[in-house]
Amino acid sequence: MVLFTIVLLLIVIFIEIISFFLFYKIKKSRRFVVGVEASEYISDQYLNQKKIDVAAKHAFEPRPYCLYWNSSNFFNNGYQQTDTNGFRYKGYDILHQKSVFRALVYGGSTTFSDQFVYDPKKCWPYLMEHLFNKSNLNKIEVINAGLNWATSAELLSHFVFEGKNFNPDLLIIEGPGNDSLPIAHGDNSADYRATRSSITWQVRKYESFFLYYSKFFKLLYTFWLRDANLLSLDKPNELDISEQNQLLLNTYPKTYEDNINTFIQLAMQLNIKVVLIGFLPSHFVVNEGKKAVYRAMNEILLNISRKFPNNVSYIDLKLSDFAKRDFADPGHLNEEGEIKKAQMIFNKLLFHL
C-alpha cells in the first residue's frame, strides 16, 4: 500500500512537471490565447475567494451587466494601470466617499489613454486635475473611467451599476468613437448584442482551487476553452470595407443618441452636472463613412446640450488646434497631444463649472 502511494505520488508529480512545461509552451501560441486567458481567469478566482490582492494578468474582465470592464490592479508597460475599481490608476484607490469636488470621466481609449501614454499621470484627465488643483479654484478629483474599445452601451451600464455609487458632482462623457464599430456591421440593437458578447462563469466549487494549484488541470481547461471567448468586441465575419462604409454613411446612430440621453436623464435625477466632449478623429482618418458617423455623433452631443442648457454643456475639440505630430495613430494622441487636450478642456470647463 505504501509502495502504491509512492508510485502514484511520483506519477502525479511527473504529470504536473510535464503539464507545467506544456502549459508555458502553448501559452505563447496564438491558437490557445483564449484558452490560456480563460483558465487563468478561473484560477485567479481562488485568490479572490481568499481575499488576496493579485495583479491582473489581462486588461479586461467580464461583467454580467456591463459586458466587460478594466481588470483591477493591472500592470503593464512598467506602470500600474488600474486601481481596485478598474479606474486608471492615480496613485491610490478611489473610495465611494469623497472629500472634494469629484468629476467622473467616461469615454473609450481616447479617455483611458494607455495605448501610447503608458504613465497614468500623463493622460489628459489626470493632467486636467493637476491644472485645476494648481490654480486658485476649488480642489477637484478627476476619476478616469475610460474603457478601451467601449461603446456608449458599456459606459452607460457601468455608470448605472457602479459609477454613480462614487457620488460624482460632475459627469464628463467624451463621446466614444467605438459606436462606429457595430454600426459598420449593421448592428443597431440597444446594447449592440449582434456584434458584442462576453462570458461570465459561475465558478464551481473547488474549480478555481484545482486550476490554481495544478498545471495539469489548467492545461486541460486551456484546451477545453480555447474557442470560448471571454470577450468578443467585433463581429467574426466582417463585411468588406465598401459595405461597412455604406452603412456608416447611411445609418443614423440612434442607439448612441438613446444611450447618451439615458446617461443625461439619470445624471439629472441624481443632481449631477454633465459635460459632453465631442470625439476627435485625427488628420489621418480618411474613410468618409467614419468621418460621417463621427460628425453625426458629435452633432447629437451638441443637440442634447442645447435641449438641457441648465444641466448639460458641450465642448467641441477642434482638429485645427492639434498638429499631426500630436497624434500617435488615427485615433489617439501622444503625450504632447494629451497635454494640449488637457489644457483645452480645462480652459473650456472654466466657463461651465
Domain ranges within the chain, ordered by starting residue: 1-54+205-232, 58-196+242-349
CA pair distance 76, 58, nearest whole angstrom:
9
Model pLDDT, residue 211: 80
* CA–centroid distance for 211 within its chain: 27
**Nearest C-alpha neighbor of 99 from the set 171, 169, 173, 172:** 169
Kindly report, residue by residue over 169-199, the tens digit of the pLDDT.
Answer: 999 999 999 999 999 999 999 899 888 877 6
Helices (H), 241-334: 241-250, 254-269, 288-307
Q: For position 200, what pLDDT does the model report?
A: 65
Candidates 257, 275, 277, 351; CA nearest to 317 is 277
Q: C-alpha grid cell for residue 249?
A: 454613411
User: Interhelix angle for 2-26 vs 215-224, to 10°?
Assistant: 50
Query: What is the pTM (predicted TM-score) of this model?
Result: 0.83
Q: How far is CA 18 from the centre of its chain?
A: 37
The full length of the chain comes to 353
CATH class of the region 58-196+242-349: alpha beta
Instruction: Please state the φ and ψ torsions of residue 345, each to the nearest 5 degrees.
Output: -65, -40
Alpha helices in the chain, H assignment, sequence order: 2-26, 33-49, 109-112, 124-134, 152-161, 180-183, 207-213, 215-224, 241-250, 254-269, 288-307, 335-349
Q: Which of 140, 123, 48, 44 is nearest to 88 (CA)?
A: 123
DSSP string, 161-173: HTGGGG--SEEEE
Between 118 and 6, the higher pLDDT residue: 118
Interacting residues of 314 by C-beta distance below 8 A, sequence separation 6+: 275, 276, 277, 278, 301, 302, 304, 305, 306
The pLDDT assigned to 10 comes to 87
Closest to 126 measured CA to CA, from 154, 108, 99, 105: 105
Higher pLDDT, 276 or 194: 276
pLDDT at 35 over 90: no
Rounded mean pLDDT, 238-243: 81
Longest CA pairwise span in the chain (Å)? 82
Nearest partner of 253 among 281, 283, 295, 218, judged by Cα: 295
Helix residue ranges per DSSP H, 135-214 = 152-161, 180-183, 207-213
- Crossing angle, helix 241-250 and helix 288-307, to 10 degrees? 20
